């Protein structure tokens, strides 16, 4: 029930960090991969690393901030490599600033990548699946900030709140087509993006004290939830979010 043999999974932001960790886990569960990111060099490095899984690893460059180009990109990709069964919407970004100091340009950029590109990629995926009469699985990468926030994260929190409700809306619209849409809400995960925070003793101390499991998470900690939601084991689950946060949201 938890195998992905014979399936192909596309992972956005799949060249490093959480995306690369999820790609590794999906491949180990039997899925072939399509990694999408902006940087060709990082994609090549990721493909070399994942080659050890023995799965087919395709790579494709795309600037997901150019949201009007996503549908055309996806159609060309499908024509080149064939259909995709699983979509992992992982690519995202943040800008930290007090809400009253946040530049509107930064807000729009965060919303474009974290919300609009997720919708556009999901829409392209669903259109192909519906036209082919085939089911599919979408897993959106949310955040603790789908449900809570902290100072300086207003733009990111706004975007991830949108991802949570988008997950529910798409799940509702596409259930009759067999396209199931769920999300994962990571806690504080150690990646190249969060390294400055990990290296800050005060911040890491706060994370450890605030998290019941008393540590930062790793991309590998998210793999089980992603494989589960993408697999036949989750065929009666849609419109949900699983928080993988070390107990963060359970504690006052």
Q: Which residue numbers are catalytic?
A: 156
Residue 126 CA to residue 140 CA, distance in Å, equals: 14
Measured between alpha carbons, how far is 99 from 95 in angstroms, rounded to an integer?
Answer: 11
Are 129 and 136 a contacting pair, CB within 8 Å? Answer: yes
The residue among 31, 36, 37 whose CA lies nearest residue 8 is 31
Neighbour tally for 250: CB within 10 Å: 10
The 10 Å Cβ neighbour count of residue 245 is 24
Integer CA distances (angstroms), 208 to 55, 86, 213, 217, in order? 36, 34, 8, 10
């Amino acid at each position: 029930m938890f195998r992905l043999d014979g399936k192909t999974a596309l992972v956005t932001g799949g060249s490093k960090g959480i995306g690369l960790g999820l790609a590794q886990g999906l491949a180990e569960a039997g899925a072939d991969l399509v990694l999408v990111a902006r940087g060709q060099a990082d994609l090549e490095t990721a493909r070399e690393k994942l080659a050890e899984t023995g799965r087919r690893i395709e790579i494709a460059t795309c600037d997901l901030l150019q949201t009007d180009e996503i549908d055309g990109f996806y159609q060309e990709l499908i024509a080149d490599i064939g259909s995709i069964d699983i979509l992992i919407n992982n690519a995202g970004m943040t800008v930290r600033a007090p809400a009253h100091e946040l530049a509107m340009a930064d807000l729009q950029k965060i919303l474009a990548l974290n919300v609009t590109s997720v919708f556009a990629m999901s829409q392209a995926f669903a259109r192909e699946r519906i036209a082919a009469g085939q089911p599919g699985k979408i897993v959106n990468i949310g955040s603790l900030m789908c449900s809570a926030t902290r100072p300086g994260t207003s733009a990111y929190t706004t975007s991830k709140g949108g991802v949570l409700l988008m997950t529910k809306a798409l799940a509702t619209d596409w259930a009759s087509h067999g396209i199931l849409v769920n999300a994962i809400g990571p806690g504080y995960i150690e990646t190249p993006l969060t390294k400055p925070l990990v290296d800050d003793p005060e911040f890491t101390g706060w994370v450890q004290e605030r998290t019941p499991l008393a540590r930062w998470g790793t991309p590998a900690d998210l793999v089980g939830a992603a494989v589960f939601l993408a697999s036949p084991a989750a065929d009666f689950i849609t419109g949900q979010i699983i928080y993988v946060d070390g107990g963060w949201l359970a504690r006052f």
